Amino acid sequence: MRFFSTIALLLSVVNFTSAQIIDTEMYLKKEFLNGKGDTLRYRQMNPLIDFSDCESGKKYPLVIFLHGAGERGNDNEKQLIHGSKLFSNIKNRIDFQSFVIFPQCPENNRWVEVDWKLPAHDMPVNLSKNLELVMNLLDELIAAYPIDTNRIYVAGLSMGGFGTWDLISRYPERFAAALPICGGGDVKQAGRLVGVPIWTFHGGNDKLVLTQRSRDMVDALKKAGGSPKYSEYPGVGHDSWNKAFAEPELLKWLFSQSMINRK
């Protein structure tokens, strides 16, 4: 494997703040069509490798990041507002070589068809059309790129936090770890999630998605025999993702998880 060592060295001496301005350039603008007339717009950031000179058999983790309600649309840009800088930070790109995908949910659609303001919900019988597109895209990416299927991660905030809980509840065998931020899931699915490494986050003063949603999921997981990590930030409102992204061990924890180590 030949890394872009010269480029990495040059980038490492660039002011990190100014480097973050080119986020949209680091994430390639792409579209996925499922053959039924449905389109999923997404951004893709690749690891810092030369695909024309890949070492045979070497594979890389993949992160799927699900945005919140405010980033919905069809511009294929707004979904990068929150979270993209965490992964495009040049030090993180060098330390955690990975593929990162930011799909965009269309306006007036949801990752999960539930009311976010309720104190609880039942997981819908069927996967939403938009999350189905995400899973279809995942299969296509695995076929096209050197992706380590033992290290596929999902993260999301707010509406995307609900989407994260929904995906791991339906497909616990496909995700090596999850980072649900200020979201909520169906506590009755906790038994399916016992083996999934989860680090979840919520603001203690969240008025849009009740803090109790994360507390209830954590309690249900522990009762089922799981060991989730939970970070609650006292006095913080709905934007708990800012605190979550600032956790010094966040990416180290995430990328250390693998299906190989799951019991």
What pLDDT digit, counting tens, does each position of 98-128 carry? 999 999 999 999 999 999 999 999 999 999 9
CA-atom Rg of the chain in angstroms: 18
Distance between CA atoms of 176 and 106, rounded to whole angstroms? 27
Output the pTM of the full model.
0.90
For residue 156, the SS3 value is strand
Q: For residue 57, name the pLDDT band (cuts at 50, 70, 90).
A: confident
Percent of the chain with pLDDT over 90: 83
All domains of the chain in start order, with CATH: 5-261 (3.40.50.1820)
Q: What is the pLDDT of residue 250?
A: 98
pLDDT at 172 over 70: yes
Q: For residue 25, name the pLDDT band (cuts at 50, 70, 90).
A: confident
Q: What is the pLDDT of residue 35?
A: 82
Buried/exposed 237-255: b ≥16 CB within 10 Å, e otherwise:
ebbbbebbbeeeebbeebb
Q: Which burial class, exposed, middle or buried, applies to 84 when counting CB atoms under 10 A from its CB (0-12, 13-18, 19+)?
A: buried
